[in-house]
Amino acid sequence: MSAGPKIFLTRELPPDSMAILRRHSQLTYNQDDRVLDKQELIDGLKDADGLLCLLNDTIDADVINANPNLRVISNFAVGFNNIDVNAATARKLPITNTPGVLTETTADMAFALLMAAARRVAEGDRFVRTRGWNGWGPLQFLGCEVTGATLGLVGLGRIGKSMIQRAKGFEMPVVYWNRTRMSEKEESALGVTYKSLDDVMTHSDFVSVHVALNDETHHLIGAEQISRMKPTGILINTSRGPVVDESALVEALKSRSIGGAGLDVYENEPLLEPELYDLPTAVLAPHLGSATLQTRTKMGNMAAENCLAACDGKRPPNLVNPEVWD
């Protein structure tokens, strides 16, 4: 084992990132391809200088306080709602994330879900596999038009903005809601129109959600917002499951009061609302937003760099709680 700080990693990362960690640290990691439970997390980080964890590791106050010598929690994700940031900040423990490197990849996934839901790709795939298809038909699997349809963005951070580029290619007018409205100059440079959240829901053919999960955005898209959608409207979520009230969404899909959904994230991953599994107008992906080898490698290298820097007493590049450093 090489010298360097002791790092505990909760799951194997892409090979390049593993090589960096092995080269620069005394690495121990969970070699089982599964999420660790609380006690396993606590045991694993007992002697560690740095913890490198994933978005489905629950890093609560007990885990954070289990090792008073821990110097950093490096999350392999841009979202960090899995970590009790207040508990970490209270003991001046830096937390880092991996912003920027997964922006385009996640926007690609949101657009893939949008296209798949609009054109019934998953339904068609399932149908062909039944071996029951008896040939082309003029009324078979009619979907909805994407070109020229209105895209509503809920949240206009990095990934939301990246959706605008894709929408342009499909000549889609873009309306958006964001907690903070952009300046008119920025809006006209991006070619987007600001609306209230209610109006985004009402006027869009596709609503794509791109906000971070926090206390303010939990169930931001609830029954009332969903009820404002067009009967043909399609809801896309690649952010975090709890931003959308999943049971309200199920009700809307069941009663066909909206046209469909493209979901990559769920309220209680890996479990879904039971009825969701059987609703044909929902396209369901298993949280694949950043899932390409190139992007996961960039995320892994960034998470490793953050972890190693903080263990070495240097300010990590992607601090989410900068107040612990200043």
Stretch that binds ligand GLV, among 2-10, 63-71, 72-80, 148-156 (CB under 6 A): 72-80
Catalytic residue among 104, 251, 269, 275: 269
Centre a 10 Å sphere on the Cβ of residue 326 and count the other Cβ atoms it contains.
6
How far is it, in rounded angstroms, from Cα 142 to Cα 43?
54
Rounded to 5 degrees, what angle do the CA atoms 34, 311, 308 make? 65
The verdict on whether 287 is a catalytic residue reads yes
- Under 8 Å between Cβ of 226 and 198: no
How far is it, in rounded angstroms, from Cα 30 to Cα 170?
44
Stretch that binds ligand GLV, among 42-50, 73-81, 121-129, 303-311 (CB under 6 A): 73-81
Given candidates 45, 51, 59, 77, which one binds ligand GLV under the rule CB under 6 A?
77
- By beta-carbon proximity to ligand GLV, the closer residue of 238 and 281 is 238
Using CB under 6 A as the binding rule, whether residue 101 contacts ligand GLV is answered as: no
**All residues at 6 or more sequence positions from 133 whose CB lies less than 8 Å from its CB, including other chains:** 127
- By beta-carbon proximity to ligand GLV, the closer residue of 52 and 55 is 55
- By beta-carbon proximity to ligand GLV, the closer residue of 191 and 286 is 286
Given candidates 102, 112, 243, 276, which one binds ligand GLV under the rule CB under 6 A?
102
Minimal distance in Å, beta carbon 183 to ligand GLV?
A: 27
Site residue total, ligand GLV (CB under 6 A): 7
Minimal distance in Å, beta carbon 60 to ligand GLV?
A: 18
- By beta-carbon proximity to ligand GLV, the closer residue of 208 and 290 is 290
The verdict on whether 131 is a catalytic residue reads no
x/- site string to ligand GLV, residues 78 to 97, per CB under 6 A? xx------------------
How far is it, in rounded angstroms, from Cα 278 to Cα 254?
10
Q: What is the dihedral angle through the alpha carbons of 104, 291, 64, 2, rounded to the nearest 10 degrees?
A: -110
Stretch that binds ligand GLV, among 27-35, 77-85, 161-169, 316-324 (CB under 6 A): 77-85
- By beta-carbon proximity to ligand GLV, the closer residue of 211 and 258 is 211
Of 145, 153, 87, 52, nearest in space to 324 by CA: 87
- By beta-carbon proximity to ligand GLV, the closer residue of 78 and 226 is 78
Catalytic residue among 11, 287, 296, 305: 287
Site for ligand GLV in 36-65 (CB under 6 A): 55
Minimal distance in Å, beta carbon 122 to ligand GLV?
A: 21
The verdict on whether 219 is a catalytic residue reads no
Minimal distance in Å, beta carbon 87 to ligand GLV?
A: 20
- Under 8 Å between Cβ of 118 and 142: no
Catalytic residue among 240, 267, 273, 305: 240
CA distances from 273 to 251, 284, 301 (A): 11, 12, 35
Site for ligand GLV in 277-306 (CB under 6 A): 289-290
Angle between helices 103-118 and 158-169 (to 10 degrees): 50
CA distances from 7 to 20, 205, 290 (A): 12, 47, 24
Residues within the interface to ligand GLV (CB under 6 A) = 55, 77-79, 102, 289-290
**Residues recognised as catalytic:** 240, 269, 287
